Structure 1
């Protein structure tokens, strides 16, 4: 009961920090599916290019075993960040957040445009990640020694990941992608009573999962 009370305190802190929604659920309500990893393999142009994404992550069965060691999970909806007007004009976007789907369709020649896109949008990823790492630290201070956060989408801490040498340059702050671990964010959000939609006509809502125990 004491652990659950602390978890609720953490949920309150997250909301006070300005996150739109945050819900604590039993860890077994985090939905893990092999087909989510399949989408990484067949639908993501960054597959194999980052040490925090497949095939360099634990396999799905390994993660299921790890998840079984946790009692709670917090599902966090992150407010889409505002894009500066000059960047919005550059990529011809509506200013309602980072439109990953439209960027993917607009820039199919990744070799020529990846550096430009990365430099313009990596800052948004880093800012959100730092906030989430702060939450992870707060959870640790409350007694959740094994608190670990998973952020949706690929790691963007480095423009080019050190895959060739197989050693992460930011091992302290980099985190695995939620999708890379097989987490179905739509179903998990639904289990938390949070509305989450992915479609071609709207900006994907940034999400994170914080495992606590």
Structure 2
């Protein structure tokens, strides 16, 4: 008998969500970068220090004072070439403020990768199987008879219970419809099992009755006609 599709999961557009997360992280990093304009600012400060240094040189200030007495002169003495000072500042900036500014962007990338891998779920239900792709891309293929329970969870999740445990599917747009379909399948199976058990019990009881009347026939308590009539009655013929 050909397998019949009952319902298939509908997925949210994760690409839009991931792009938004990355954009937010990128904008946050840009805002932090905008506050790291120290290179141009320090270049201006260096020029001001150098002017002070030249003034002190021309006025003979350093003949009576140490370079350490003037912060501007001390900096020029430590970095006589402007480029050296800016390179040293930029190097410190790279491993301090710049790295800090990159953290939001890096976090957004990690969140996007995690969400893309973890939340990409797909669930298909037929009259014979429940299969698809669970969290972390794990492929699942279960016979309907092996499903023991169905539940819902956070992030539009569906949990399919088996004897081995629960399998989770996330971000299922039509989660409630799938939950209803699988619940109905479980109820139908439970009903069929109950009817089958009752039928087997009736058949077993009828067989006992026929055996009892057979013994009555053999010991001459009833006639063949009476036995045949009772047998047809019990068998529903």
Tell me which structure has the larger Cα radius of gyration. Answer: 2
**Same structural fold, with TM-score higher than 0.5 when normalized by the shorter chain:** no
> Is the helix fraction higher in 1 or 2?
2
Bigger relative contact order (CA 8 A; separation at least 6): 1
> Is the strand fraction higher in 1 or 2?
2
